[in-house]
Structure 1
């Protein structure tokens, strides 16, 4: 069954365009033009993703997002004409999964929708897997090629983040923000230390190396040659 998307957008031309494009891709689409009604609809039905404008009659997009995040982790992509950095920061800090400004490319929006859905589905599953690595999130059991691998809690969290973002180059700062937290005041080399710990357990005993160093940037979990 294809995912169900809620579009909260007061410009009817844009809303209709999005509906046609999403339905062409096989998604189910519900449209609301008012912020208050849109929020009510978001709580009344189960949606897999929400496309949210900021400037709306009734509640604005930031208010809607804030209320949604009190009860749900449904992926939300803000789609708006407000392109100032402070608006993007506000949206992302409140809990938006992505932020795209108008005018926009429908191909780019579709790619961001697929990415948000993919990440959400990975996070909410009880098991993650990639290239022979399997993680059971309920038992903290990790195996690679059928062999059990013992990890500490922080190593487990780091591997989980790498798998969720497999194929994406992640900076040390980005890893710190997501595996440690925003309040961590140590040096970013703690990431390098834990990458070494993780490699010694998940990579070194195996022929195929998966944790790749991207020189001058950070790390990526992917199959291919290591640039280090």
Structure 2
């Protein structure tokens, strides 16, 4: 499930966008202003942000700039204005797209889907599970402050499971995907590597867990926050 941040001080706009996006399977996290949106992002996994420009405490331009400094997610700005100068400021602050009020909900949905397609071309190398970030391209796992030095097979196993949260992988499937079809050992190596990963990330059980489905295999469950 993709998680969407909706920051707008107009409850009617939030209700409209919430209806459209939840119907499409998004989990919508709402904020009434920029300050509240920052708190939401610190405690929730957010995959895309829809932000109103005119908000109290921290306006949409400031929030957009904050997100760009701390997260790599697509951003859509909502505004009642259709002036070139406003759009220019929005793009300078880091927005990916701009939608002018009033808008058709279906158009907003199309834009959200288009941004996901664009981001997913490069974002598949980055996997986030709340505090934990897995960088497949650079073979790194970090919590934003320190980097975990994992042996290659542990890294590949964690990345494979995390790429598809909630999906159940059999031990045979994991051996084929991580160790390769020519691997001649037994499936106990999967058990050993799973146990090592659990030990390494024991302090992050509030973010995710590697769950055993007895007699079948394993899956990663990312905690809802």
Counterpart in 2 of 1:91? Answer: 90
Counterpart in 2 of 1:52? Answer: 51
Counterpart in 2 of 1:146? Answer: none
Shift of 1:44: 2.4
Whole-angstrom distance in 1 between the partners of 2:87 and 2:114: 19
Shift of 1:138: 4.3
- With the length of structure 2 as denominator, give the TM-score of the two structures: 0.54
Counterpart in 1 of 2:61? Answer: 62
2:30 matched to 1:31? Answer: yes
When residues 138 and 26 of structure 1 are mapped into structure 2, their CA distance, relative to the original with a 3 A threshold, is: closer
2:109 matched to 1:110? Answer: yes
- Structure 1 SS opposite 2:82: coil
Q: Deviations over 1:10-57 (max 9, x none)?
A: 000110111111111111111111211112212322111000001001
Whole-angstrom distance in 2 between the partners of 1:52 and 1:71: 16
Counterpart in 1 of 2:121? Answer: 122
* Count of matched residue positions in the alignment of Structure 1 and Structure 2: 129
- Structure 1 SS opposite 2:89: helix
Q: 2:29, 2:40 within 8 Å by CA — same for their partners in 1?
A: no
Gaps of 5+ in 2: 127-135, 139-225
Q: 2:16, 2:105 within 8 Å by CA — same for their partners in 1?
A: no
Whole-angstrom distance in 2 between the partners of 1:73 and 1:97: 11
Shift of 1:109: 0.6
2:45 matched to 1:17? Answer: no
The correspondence of residues 1-228 of structure 1 with structure 2, limited to 5 A, is: 2-126=1-125, 138=137
- With the length of structure 1 as denominator, give the TM-score of the two structures: 0.54
When residues 71 and 103 of structure 1 are mapped into structure 2, their CA distance, relative to the original with a 3 A threshold, is: same
Whole-angstrom distance in 1 between the partners of 2:119 and 2:83: 27
Structure 1's consecutive aligned runs of 4 or more residues displaced over 3 angstroms after TM superposition are: none
Shift of 1:116: 0.7
Whole-angstrom distance in 1 between the partners of 2:42 and 2:65: 13
- Structure 2 SS opposite 1:30: strand
- Give the alignment's Cα RMSD to 1 decimal: 1.8
Whole-angstrom distance in 2 between the partners of 1:43 and 1:89: 28
Gaps of 5+ in 1: 128-136, 140-228
- Structure 2 SS opposite 1:52: strand
- Structure 2 SS opposite 1:70: helix
Whole-angstrom distance in 1 between the partners of 2:20 and 2:49: 15
Point out which structure has higher relative CO (alpha carbons under 8 A, 6+ apart): 2
Whole-angstrom distance in 1 between the partners of 2:65 and 2:12: 26
